[in-house]
Amino acid sequence: MTASDLSIGVLNGPNLDLLGTREPELYGSLSLSGINSELEALGAELNAAVESFQSNHEGELSDWIRDVGRMKDGLLVNAAAFTHTSVALRDALLASGVPFVEVHLTNIWAREPFRHRSLLSDIAVGVVSGFGKESYLLGLRALCNHLRPSA
């Protein structure tokens, strides 16, 4: 086994630990651990080590960005409800200086109006939204391509 040349952090916000049971008609039936397993497998194919973290607490998410996330080459961020409300997460991501891709399982612009505004999108490398678990996988591919541009 060779060492991965990229280190990717995956940040998951509130209630994503309920995936698989919470509104499966909206969010799908795959659990967060299932998504994390698929990310790790794809990461191995892309020669990128993937480390995931989930919390329902804004301060824990900010601490993770400061203590762990800033050591990564890039981040996938699904801040969930904090996408629309958390200046603290925005500031932590800016302070980290680490490029990130914002991901969402659902198309946030096709949902309730309060979900249409993201406090993170304008500082993200890109946004992948509306493809269920594929949003994460597409986001990981895009992030690795961004971090490892073609010669």
127: which strand partners? 102
Query: In the chain, which ranges are E strands?
Result: 6-12, 48-54, 74-78, 100-104, 126-129
34: which strand partners? none
Rounded CA separation 18/23 (Å): 9
Select which of 27, 57, 116, 146 is catalytic: 27
Select which of 57, 84, 104, 116 is catalytic: 104
What own/partner pairs with CB < 8 Å and gap ≥ 24 does 62-67 have? 62/88, 62/89, 62/92, 64/9, 64/11, 65/11, 65/89, 65/92, 65/93, 65/95, 65/96, 66/92, 66/95, 66/96
Token match 């993170």: residue? 120
Assess whether 136 carries a catalytic annotation: no
**Which residues are known catalytic residues?**
27, 104
